[in-house]
Structure 1
Amino acid sequence: MTILEDLQWRGAINQQTDEEGLEKLLDEKSVSLYCGVDPTADSMHIGHLIPFMVLKRFQMAGHRPVILIGGATGSIGDPSGRTSERQLQSMDQIRHNADKLIAQMKKLFEAGSENGIHLVNNYDWWQGMGVLDFLRDFGKEFNINTMLAKDVVASRLETGISFTEFTYQIIQSVDFLHLFQNEDVQLQVGGADQWGNITAGLDLIRKKEGAEAKAFGLTIPLLLKADGTKFGKSAEGAVWLDPEKTSPYEFYQFWLNQDDRDVIHYLKYFTFLSKEEIEALEEKVKTEPHKREAQRTLAQEMTRFVHSQEDLEEAEKISEALFSGNIQDLTARQIEQGFQHVPSSTAPKQDIGLVEFLVDVTNIEPSRRQAREDIKNGAIYIKGERVQDTDYTVTEKDSFDGQYIIVRRGKKKYFLVHLVEA
């Protein structure tokens, strides 16, 4: 199966500018291709990963990926998919965000390896360009009527678009030309909303380099969930690649909790499993859906790819501990990940009677009478151990590394208590 055939099977191709020409080029030689991301935040989220997974597949097929960090384009704002102007950031913030994105890309794409990525920042070639040079050398190559007809601009005309965001299409086109001329890049990959920008870049290349210039564009479909909503968010918001923003455990859980109707689609998009492996998992979704083997495989593959094998093992350990209730062996770091979104309170680092601890200190129980009743009935667990003695004293030995105490009431209701100096 060729790389394009594999992408078609995975449902990862939306549009191509010249399918036959690109297929012939890929048969002839190893090709340089690029995809870009603007540093509008200091981490990518999983929605950003979609075109970069395609770039990774090209890399694995022997081609050379170039990743463009949009230090210049990120400073003006991409109108794609937006109904209002983007809030501009300071250049210091953009540089900080760019450094963080570069670190993520190096990890995902094995920078420095024989077939690793080449990273570029378009600020490097835009910072010295004057407005007159820009207008003379490039502005005259773009027809306003053609630009207005592009979906990315046309969708904004009713609400309005600034000249700043209007020029984004020209700047991205110049980026493609620059990479074509200086990095031998012949293919640009992007999301479905980038089609207008990509085709504008191809037009510019042919005006500057001649009609026979071999350059191509490929876009990825907008990824929707089975219920029709946009893919990429959890109940808590965006699912980030930065473990400080979305912990590996939360990341693992996001993939583990995918709908049966979506999981095979995501296995095709986001994992490097073979067609045979995915089809075997698809059969298990039909015959043994309760085992959720496809979801578990998806969660394992993605957590290992984005984070590490160690992070995957830790996420699975936390998941198993929470499922079984045997949390005693978790570390404070694992407690932070697994109990990040449960009700929380604080308590002093001192010995406190259990009833007082549950009622007066943490408000876990509404009254002393209810607290005593729940304790006697075996509904209260401290650090995973059932406590039925109303005279029990909570001490630092009940904590995780002197930082947290976990209280469970009933089968599933957990509470996280942060210990502070008395």
Structure 2
Amino acid sequence: MDILDDLKYRGLINQVTDEEGLREALKKPVTFYCGFDPTASSLHAGNLLIIVIMMRLQKTGHHPIALVGGGTGMIGDPSGRSTERQLNTKEVVDGFSESLKTQLSRFLDFDHGTATYLNNSQWLGKLSTIEFLRDVGKHFPLNYMLSKESVQSRMEAGISFTEFSYMLLQSFDYLNLYENQGCTLEIGGSDQWGNITAGLELIRRKGHEKPAFGLTFPLITKSDGTKFGKSMGGAIWLDPEKTTPYEWYQFWINASDDDVVNYLKYFTFLSRDEIEVLADEVRNHPEERKAQKTLAREMTKLVHGENALTEAEKITDALFSGDVSQLTAAEIRQGFRAFPTFDAPSKEPVKLVDLIVEAGVASSKRQAREDIGNGAIYVNGARRTQLDDVLTEQDRIDGRYIIIRRGKKKYTLIKY
């Protein structure tokens, strides 16, 4: 199966400018690029799709260029947006660009020539207004630009000349990479189709004859129609400081039966046969959630590594079983970010009854005594039933945490 057929099986092809021409070109090594505008300090789960596609192409012998938009990021892409972006300062954009370079280097090796990192501020920052208008702008009739969906969708609400010019800047990126890097393929999400085809048009109008191509991939949504890559806490980030490996693992393991097989196709490097076996498991034994567990393992290994996967599974098992006493302080910080946390005002011993009232586990001392007497209170996974129980330094995990559970699932973290 060639790379285009593999992408088709995985549901990853949305539009191709010349499929047969591209298929023929891909029989030899092709240099291709994808752009990442630095609008935040981290990429997110939605960006991961395009990174994985770059890795797929690289595995079949093609050369990826990861282009971070230090220049275009100063302007703002109107694609897929109903309002103008808030413009960041150069210092902020430069900082975001460096963060993205670091993240991308975990997936694409920039140090040994197998992948290339570039920042379009290298050429856009040197481009004068007159030069840009003469050498780029003159090749784009106004009616051509107005026909693009990214512009049409904004006409009623309004679009500034700044964002209107984004298409020309991205087109210049493709031309620059075509002429100086031998790049003949641009890939991106389906919302980038207009920008990609504009770049191809500029290459053609500049008189170049060597074929160049564009390839887009569908934007992912969940089966219920909600946006992919979001959780109750917001975006799911690749940065472990923003989304911990445990939270990342939980995002994937909680995929619905309707979504999980597609996610296995989109994001993992499992073979077609392996995916079909898991699809059968979803149909015949959905309660075992083998596909979700496989997806969570593969995605956590890919983004955070084997050690982080081991920690995430350990935390998951501890929370499911209630046996949290074996968790380290670092694992507790990961696993309990979404749970209520109470900062203990003192390191002195404290009565259990008083602590669970102060921490909001129980609404009153009467309720606290009832919960303890009924066996509903657990400290670090162990049931506590004595009304006069006192918690001391020996009860603190790594000297810093006590985990109180009321009933089966209601956890509260006490932090010292």
Q: How does 1:280-319 map to 2 (within 5 A)?
A: 280-319=277-316
Q: Residue deviations 1:326-383, cap 9 Å, x none?
A: 1111011111111111122121211111111122x32321121221121122111111
The amino acid that maps onto 1:224 is T
Asked if 1:112 is matched to 2:93, the reply is no
Q: Identify which range, 332-341 or 396-405, moves more after superposition.
A: 396-405
Cα deviation, residue 114, structure 1: 5.4
Q: Identify which range, 276-285 or 222-231, moves more after superposition.
A: 222-231
| Partners of 2:364 and 2:155 in 1: CA distance | 60
The amino acid that maps onto 1:14 is N
TM-score by length of 2: 0.98
Corresponding residue for residue 406 of structure 2: 409
Question: CA contact under 8 A between 2:403 and 2:411: conserved in structure 1?
Answer: yes
* Pick aligned residue for 2:207 from 198, 206, 209: 209
| Partners of 1:229 and 1:363 in 2: CA distance | 33
| Partners of 1:223 and 1:309 in 2: CA distance | 27
Corresponding residue for residue 85 of structure 1: 84
Asked if 1:385 is matched to 2:385, the reply is no
Corresponding residue for residue 67 of structure 1: 66
Unaligned runs of 5+ in 2: none
Q: Which runs of 4+ in 1 moved over 4 A?
A: none
The amino acid that maps onto 1:18 is D
Q: Residue deviations 1:215-244, cap 9 Å, x none?
A: 000000121211122211112110000000
Corresponding residue for residue 221 of structure 2: 224
| Partners of 2:207 and 2:276 in 1: CA distance | 45
Unaligned runs of 5+ in 1: none
| Partners of 1:297 and 1:52 in 2: CA distance | 20
Question: How many corresponding residue pairs?
Answer: 415
| Partners of 1:400 and 1:73 in 2: CA distance | 49
The amino acid that maps onto 1:20 is E
The amino acid that maps onto 1:208 is K
Q: Residue deviations 1:277-316, cap 9 Å, x none?
A: 0001001111111110000111011110011100001000
Corresponding residue for residue 330 of structure 1: 327
Corresponding residue for residue 3 of structure 1: 3
Corresponding residue for residue 175 of structure 2: 177
The amino acid that maps onto 2:16 is Q
Cα deviation, residue 388, structure 1: 1.0
Corresponding residue for residue 258 of structure 2: 261
Q: Identify which range, 60-69 or 227-236, moves more after superposition.
A: 227-236
Question: CA contact under 8 A between 2:221 and 2:227: conserved in structure 1?
Answer: yes
The amino acid that maps onto 2:202 is L
Q: Residue deviations 1:113-165, cap 9 Å, x none?
A: 453x2000000011111111111111111111000000010000000000000
The amino acid that maps onto 1:100 is S
The amino acid that maps onto 2:82 is T
Asked if 1:367 is matched to 2:367, the reply is no
The amino acid that maps onto 2:141 is N
| Partners of 2:397 and 2:236 in 1: CA distance | 27
Cα deviation, residue 396, structure 1: 1.9
The amino acid that maps onto 2:67 is L
| Partners of 2:355 and 2:218 in 1: CA distance | 54
Question: CA contact under 8 A between 2:41 and 2:95: conserved in structure 1?
Answer: yes
Question: CA contact under 8 A between 1:205 and 1:213: conserved in structure 2?
Answer: no
| Partners of 1:304 and 1:232 in 2: CA distance | 18
Asked if 1:103 is matched to 2:102, the reply is yes
Question: CA contact under 8 A between 2:223 and 2:258: conserved in structure 1?
Answer: yes
Cα deviation, residue 322, structure 1: 0.5
Cα deviation, residue 213, structure 1: 2.5
Corresponding residue for residue 36 of structure 1: 35
The amino acid that maps onto 2:355 is F
The amino acid that maps onto 2:363 is P
Q: How does 1:103-142 map to 2 (within 5 A)?
A: 103-113=102-112, 115=114, 117-142=115-140
Cα deviation, residue 110, structure 1: 2.9
Question: CA contact under 8 A between 1:34 and 1:65: conserved in structure 2?
Answer: yes
| Partners of 2:396 and 2:415 in 1: CA distance | 9
Asked if 1:342 is matched to 2:321, the reply is no
The amino acid that maps onto 1:379 is A
CA RMSD of aligned residues (A): 1.0
Corresponding residue for residue 51 of structure 1: 50
* Pick aligned residue for 2:317 from 304, 317, 320: 320
3-state SS of paired residue (2:66)? strand
Cα deviation, residue 112, structure 1: 2.3
Question: CA contact under 8 A between 2:51 and 2:107: conserved in structure 1?
Answer: no
Asked if 1:15 is matched to 2:15, the reply is yes
| Partners of 1:213 and 1:111 in 2: CA distance | 27
Question: CA contact under 8 A between 1:206 and 1:213: conserved in structure 2?
Answer: no
Corresponding residue for residue 76 of structure 1: 75
